[in-house]
């Protein structure tokens, strides 16, 4: 059995692209103000929960060996920076550009610009210039926590990885509200730790159990989407179902071999750019008047067209912008590191 860090999970790459596509579907219905569509496909919003669980899984899978190795903290931080910021800044520049072009300056306050540029949260659900970037605040909070665990001695790191999730989940269950939207914040943070637990457990799961978990997760997702299943309020239902799907799919691929291919790799790579670009693009289409010209009077067709535009934009953005800008920043960081090493040499 190969180590979990060496496996590229093709099934999870497909699942993450489907989660990104689900969020595009949700926002398409919202932009077209189609109440029937929203009622039928409102569940697609919970693609966000899948991403939170997946992030916890991916970080633990990739960096478990880095825990209590402070010398690896710089590499961890660099990887997380390259993953989040350069593509995000491209989309932010696009959004600021069209806001200025159409003289929509209300969102462009200094506070909003500062918060949006550096992804500094001002509340539990802070809608900045890039609306959906509120989820990135939680990503960064989890990265900071994991970075602390990398820097600290092993016993303390393990204690934190047990105590902090228990505390956060306890606060979520109790409904404690020390600040606005606190319950939502505690739930979102808990989901990352669902993914951490999955990463720890997956190498110990057999194919049979993995198949059962995958089937149970898919059935639970279907039940939640059709409202045929209802779990207690203290259970983050969509996050739990997502964790079951990830655990089942990963366990099967570890035991039976990866189903990764060039296609699944591309689908996995497209998800972040698709998530970032589609909503600013929809906003541009709306303020430019192009969205009204796309309407045909058939809500289902209009939503399908808008979803197709969002997914195609994610494809173009990934290859034309995301990959080149990440490569550029990676080269800049490498050049600076080489220069620092050269200066340090006698």
Could you tell me which of 192, 191, 174, 193 has the C-alpha nearest to residue 183? 174
Domain residue limits at 198: 4-344
Q: Please tell me the least confidently modeled range out of 80-89, 157-166, 290-299.
A: 290-299
pLDDT category, 31, cuts 50, 70, 90? Answer: confident
Note the pLDDT of residue 33.
77
Structure tokens at 229: 């299943």
* Number of structural domains in the chain: 1
Note the pLDDT of residue 98.
94
Count CA atoms closer than 13 A to 50's CA, side-chain side. 27
Note the pLDDT of residue 178.
87
Instruction: Tell me the three state secondary structure of residue 236.
Output: coil
For the chain, what is the mean pLDDT? 92
Examine the pLDDT at 272 and tell me if it is beyond 70.
yes
Arithmetic mean of pLDDT, 200-228: 95
Note the pLDDT of residue 342.
53
Cα angle, residue 123 at apex, residues 181 and 225 outer, rounded to 5°: 45
pLDDT category, 281, cuts 50, 70, 90? Answer: very high
pLDDT category, 36, cuts 50, 70, 90? Answer: confident
Note the pLDDT of residue 35.
66
Note the pLDDT of residue 177.
85
Examine the pLDDT at 4 and tell me if it is beyond 80.
no
- 196, 201, 203, 207: CA torsion to nearest 10: -120
State pLDDT tens for residues 38-85. 677 889 999 999 999 999 999 999 999 999 999 999 999 999 999 999
Note the pLDDT of residue 338.
63
Note the pLDDT of residue 39.
72
Q: Could you tell me what percent of the chain has a pLDDT over 90?
A: 77
What span, in angstroms and rounded, lies between the C-alpha atoms of 51 and 48?
5
Report how far apart, in Å, the C-alpha atoms of 52 and of each of 17, 46, 139, 223 are. Answer: 14, 10, 8, 20
Output the furthest CA–CA distance in the chain (Å, rounded): 73
Could you tell me which of 32, 94, 101 has the C-alpha nearest to residue 288? 101
Examine the pLDDT at 105 and tell me if it is beyond 70.
yes
Report how far apart, in Å, the C-alpha atoms of 120 and of each of 180, 193, 202 are. Answer: 17, 22, 33
What 8-state DSSP symbol labels residue 129?
Answer: S
Note the pLDDT of residue 3.
52
Examine the pLDDT at 316 and tell me if it is beyond 90.
yes
């Amino acid at each position: 059995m190969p180590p979990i860090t060496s496996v590229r999970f093709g099934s999870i790459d497909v699942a993450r692209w489907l989660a990104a596509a689900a969020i595009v579907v949700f926002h398409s219905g919202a932009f077209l103000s189609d109440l029937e569509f929203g009622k039928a496909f409102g569940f697609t919003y919970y693609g966000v929960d899948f991403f939170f669980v997946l992030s916890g899984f991916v970080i633990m899978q990739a960096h478990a060996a880095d825990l209590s190795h402070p010398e690896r903290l710089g590499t961890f931080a660099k990887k997380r920076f390259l993953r989040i910021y350069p593509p995000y800044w491209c989309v932010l520049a696009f959004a600021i550009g069209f806001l200025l072009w159409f003289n929509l300056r209300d969102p462009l306050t200094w506070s909003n610009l500062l918060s949006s540029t550096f992804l500094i949260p001002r509340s539990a659900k802070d809608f900045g210039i890039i609306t959906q970037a509120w989820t990135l605040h939680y990503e960064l909070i989890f990265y900071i926590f994991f970075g602390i665990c990398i820097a600290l001695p092993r016993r303390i790191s393990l204690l934190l990885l047990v105590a902090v999730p228990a505390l956060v989940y306890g606060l979520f269950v109790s409904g404690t509200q020390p600040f606005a939207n606190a319950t939502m914040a505690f739930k979102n943070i808990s989901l990352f730790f669902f993914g951490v637990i999955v990463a720890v457990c997956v190498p110990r799961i057999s194919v049979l159990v993995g198949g059962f978990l995958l089937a149970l997760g898919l059935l639970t997702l279907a039940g939640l989407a059709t409202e045929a299943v209802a779990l207690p309020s203290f259970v983050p239902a969509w996050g739990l179902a997502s964790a079951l799907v990830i655990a089942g799919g990963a366990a099967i691929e570890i035991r039976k071999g990866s189903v990764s291919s060039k296609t699944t790799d591309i689908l996995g790579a497209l998800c972040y750019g698709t998530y970032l670009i589609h909503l600013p693009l929809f906003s541009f289409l709306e303020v430019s008047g192009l969205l009204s010209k796309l309407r045909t009077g058939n809500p289902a067709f209009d939503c399908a067209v808008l979803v197709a535009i969002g997914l195609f934009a994610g494809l173009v953005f990934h290859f034309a912008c995301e990959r080149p800008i990440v490569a550029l920043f990676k080269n800049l960081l490498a050049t600076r590191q080489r220069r620092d090493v050269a200066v340090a040499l006698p």
